[in-house]
Structure 1
Amino acid sequence: MSGYGDLLRTRGVARIIAAQLTARFPSGMLSLAYLMHVEGIFDSYGAAGLVLAATSVGQAVAGPLTSRWMGIWGMRPVISLTIAVCASSMAAIAFVPMELWGYMVVGLVGGLAYPPIQPAVRTIYPKMVTSRQLTPLFAIDASAQEIIWIAGPVMTTFVATQVSTVAAIVLAGAFLLGGGLWFLASPELGRVRIPRSRRSFGVVLKRPPVLLATVVGFLLIASCAAIEAAVVANFGKEGIEAGLVLAIWAIGSLAGGLGFGHVPIGPWALARRMSVVFIGGAAAMFFLDFWGLAITLLIAGAGIAPALAVMFAIVSVSVKFSDTAEAYGWVGTGQLIGAALGSAAAGFLIDGFGASGGFAAGAVFAFVGMVIAIMFKRAHPDLRGRDASPLPDTEPVSLPVS
């Protein structure tokens, strides 16, 4: 753990981790907040799932595109514009009564404008630390992301059940605006410039590690989102049991992320970590009481942050620096779509089969992710003895003829 202390004392590292974490907190809040808010209006988890699906379509289109724009217009202009539009869409869903199609349209716009903070910060990281420190930094970042995906819903559940779903959406908007301004003020955004990529849009997905991380990341976060919805449905909208169980889940993920952060990443690393998520998630279907879910989700959580850290590392080592923002944009898009569609799938299954249906959806997503990681092991770089720095950008140099 002393290595993490040294890393966090590196100039600017702790500050930018905290800023981007705050700005990205809505990623772990909006799916559940929208699910509970729209379900309360239309009395249907299925209707809420349609709004989440529309939001995910917008995120799918915008994620890699806005990330690529940062190499053209710069990080600050792109992030500023998207924050403004996204915050406006959140306010409309919270305060403006609409028909279902209206909520879907506004959700679509919000998804299209979701700020590309995740690809921005992961592009900046290699310029802030040494190559030896990069893999542990990805482990810390993955653990921080689990605060977003798991602790975020804890906060959302508490505010939505104890105050209102409108207050939960407003809180997410406050994190977006406050954290976004903090991140934009970070001097690293001025020191690091993303080079304009010379490759066509989407070509980066031809890199097998990028595609592997995008697909497995989608399935992992879909599993998390489905389980979150199932936990809420299992304990109902009253009381704090759901929030406590999700908090225990977060503790498991944080412990796993920090505990495995220095373990060398071999070609089986992603499959092993996904198997832990699947085992814990599958067991949750059969233990629906408080302590049963607390223990099974503690196990599942221990694989989440380590799996994400592996994905970040294999993407970084496989692409050129000019392509890192777009690559992480695709990975982030997969995760955001997973969050929305995982909640949507769980919502329909909860309507039909109760909370067990939601846990089953989470287990299936994790199982498919594990199988894909096994089947495509050859696409997984072996980082044992290597650093996770991006490939340098090179171009032809004219030499004088003697």
Structure 2
Amino acid sequence: MTNADAPLIRHTGVSYFPTAFIARLPYAMMVVGVLTLVVAARGSVGLGGLNSAMVGLGAACVGPLIGAAADRFGQRTVVALTGILNGLVLGAFAWVVYSSAPDAAVLALAFVIGATAPQVAPMSRARLVGIIGARVAPGRRERTYERTMAYESAADETVFVFGPFLVGILAAGIAPWAPVVGAGILELVFVTAFALHPTGAARLLGSAGDRPVGPKRELLRPDLVATVVGIFGVGLFFGATLTSLTAFMGDRGAGEQAGLVYGVMGIGSAAFALGVALMPAGFTRRARWIAFASLMLVGTLALPFVGSVGGMVAALAIIGIGVGPTLVTQYAFGGERAPIGRSATVMTILGSAIIVGQSLASAITGELAESVGTGVALWMPAVAAAIVVGAGIANWKLTPARTAAAVPVPAAEELAARAG
């Protein structure tokens, strides 16, 4: 077997995937961890929701700039600096929340948490795309790309389910500050390890300084905007589902078990995300998006009418089948549509869209649950799913039929340039 014919893991090293997986956990813990800590320390659900929204706002404002910096200067320095800074800010936040500092100071620090959040998931995708283009044999490139995007999306789905679950365990078992501090420690150790991993070397990923770069206006192409809106909808879905589920379980005196019930959705979601690579080529990406997003929508429409925990578990299990493949498909479109030399920028925009959606939906759904009732809050996941379906319909119209099937992975030179 030649080096080009070797499995992807031979090119990344065995340590890469577990390191990258654990390094993305803090990102999934931030929104829920901040919400949990502020509510416990300051006694206000409303303030907790505002702080979660500020985390999302910080990620939206600065996250894409972090991706652009990685495209220009390479990942190693950018990821290491953001990981260390964000870990320290999380520790400071835990102290400030319990202090006599005004609420405005807490909100400002929450914004900084989002602004300095290390973008491990999009950086990982950009790295792997570059490795596939530069080192995998052309005949194996497309299949390897499909499987890699499926794995990456399954990993994201897993951490966005397990992250809130871990927050609940640490908050209940130790203290409300433990999830935030724990996320900071994970960043200082694993995000730093991810940054320094050989796959982040400049000689592999390069920088915008020595490779062609597509114009910034290409980031506003309608098909790429539709992809961002679709992933934003998935983020809304995550936030709305977890928050409304927490209210649902709280009404039954078991709010601390919301993370366990939420995990049921993640099992099917991760499994079907990995199964995307096995789906027939005739089941095109644009059709896949609409089909699985529609399944999400149908499942969420049942949530307001569920009257038992068992019924909720069954509904979430069905919904999970649709979530994973939808996310895989959206990231695949994003990877293909990224302008040359701006892959990290696009992947970071997509990652930021998820956490912004999660933050916004958590704040809105929490306020609805508190002021109007759980029944109204349980409609919010359906609203989010409808946005995902709508974006999928727009994507169908924007994707020419001749390219609707799984598009061949670009040549090695183009992929290497896209890796930024």
TM-score (norm 1): 0.89
> 1:372 corresponds to which letter in structure 2?
A
* Secondary structure of 1:128's aligned partner: helix
1:311 aligns with 330
2:231 aligns with 217
1:7/1:152 CA distance change after superposition, 3 Å: farther
Contact 1:17 1:141 in 2 (8 A): no
Distance 2:123 2:340 in 1: 12
2:131 aligns with 128
> 1:145 corresponds to which letter in structure 2?
D
* Secondary structure of 1:220's aligned partner: helix
Note if 1:162 corresponds to 2:173.
Answer: yes
1:150 shift after superposition: 0.8
Distance 1:299 1:371 in 2: 20
> 2:342 corresponds to which letter in structure 1?
D
1:321/1:199 CA distance change after superposition, 3 Å: closer
2:158 aligns with 147
1:385 shift after superposition: 5.0
1:270 aligns with 289
Distance 1:388 1:259 in 2: 19
2:183 aligns with 172
Q: What is the identity percentage for the equivalent residue pairs of Structure 1 and Structure 2?
A: 23
Distance 2:244 2:164 in 1: 12
1:73/1:11 CA distance change after superposition, 3 Å: closer
1:109/1:240 CA distance change after superposition, 3 Å: closer
Contact 2:60 2:352 in 1 (8 A): yes
> 2:25 corresponds to which letter in structure 1?
F
> Once the two structures are superposed, what CA deviation does each residue of 1:102-151 show, in whole Å capped at 9, x if it has no partner?
11100111111111322221111123332321011100111111111111
Contact 1:89 1:109 in 2 (8 A): yes
1:302 aligns with 321
Structure 1 residue runs of 5 or longer lacking an equivalent are 1-5, 395-402
Contact 1:32 1:229 in 2 (8 A): no
Distance 2:328 2:276 in 1: 9
1:80 shift after superposition: 1.4
1:71/1:91 CA distance change after superposition, 3 Å: same
> Once the two structures are superposed, what CA deviation does each residue of 1:70-90 show, in whole Å capped at 9, x if it has no partner?
122221111111112211221
2:65 aligns with 65
1:102 aligns with 105
Q: Which protein is richer in helix relative to its size?
A: 2
> 2:52 corresponds to which letter in structure 1?
L
Note if 1:247 corresponds to 2:263.
Answer: yes
> 2:257 corresponds to which letter in structure 1?
E
Distance 1:369 1:152 in 2: 23
1:178 shift after superposition: 2.2
* Secondary structure of 2:305's aligned partner: coil
27-36 vs 213-222, greater mean Cα deviation: 27-36
Contact 2:239 2:359 in 1 (8 A): yes
1:159/1:285 CA distance change after superposition, 3 Å: farther
Distance 1:13 1:233 in 2: 43
> 2:405 corresponds to which letter in structure 1?
R
1:208 shift after superposition: 2.8
Note if 1:118 corresponds to 2:121.
Answer: yes
Note if 1:17 corresponds to 2:17.
Answer: yes
1:400 aligns with none
1:249 shift after superposition: 1.3
Note if 1:261 corresponds to 2:277.
Answer: yes
1:389 shift after superposition: 4.0
1:288/1:170 CA distance change after superposition, 3 Å: farther
1:91/1:376 CA distance change after superposition, 3 Å: same
2:138 aligns with none
Distance 1:14 1:314 in 2: 28
1:91 aligns with 91
Distance 2:181 2:34 in 1: 11
> 1:233 corresponds to which letter in structure 2?
A
Of residues 229, 233, 243, the one that matches 1:229 is 243
Note if 1:188 corresponds to 2:199.
Answer: yes
1:282 aligns with 301
1:257 shift after superposition: 0.8
Contact 1:85 1:110 in 2 (8 A): no
Distance 1:99 1:270 in 2: 45
Contact 2:32 2:52 in 1 (8 A): no
1:243/1:385 CA distance change after superposition, 3 Å: closer
* Secondary structure of 1:384's aligned partner: coil
Note if 1:323 corresponds to 2:326.
Answer: no
> 1:210 corresponds to which letter in structure 2?
L
1:300 shift after superposition: 1.1
Q: Considering only aligned residues, what root-mean-square deviation do their CA atoms show, in Å?
A: 2.3
Distance 1:352 1:325 in 2: 40
Distance 2:395 2:405 in 1: 18
Contact 2:122 2:344 in 1 (8 A): yes
Of residues 310, 324, 332, the one that matches 1:291 is 310
TM-score (norm 2): 0.86
1:204/1:335 CA distance change after superposition, 3 Å: farther
> Once the two structures are superposed, what CA deviation does each residue of 1:315-342 show, in whole Å capped at 9, x if it has no partner?
2222344011111121112111011111
Distance 1:260 1:40 in 2: 41
Contact 1:132 1:387 in 2 (8 A): no
Contact 1:142 1:305 in 2 (8 A): yes
1:182/1:268 CA distance change after superposition, 3 Å: same
Distance 1:338 1:271 in 2: 20
> 1:93 corresponds to which letter in structure 2?
F
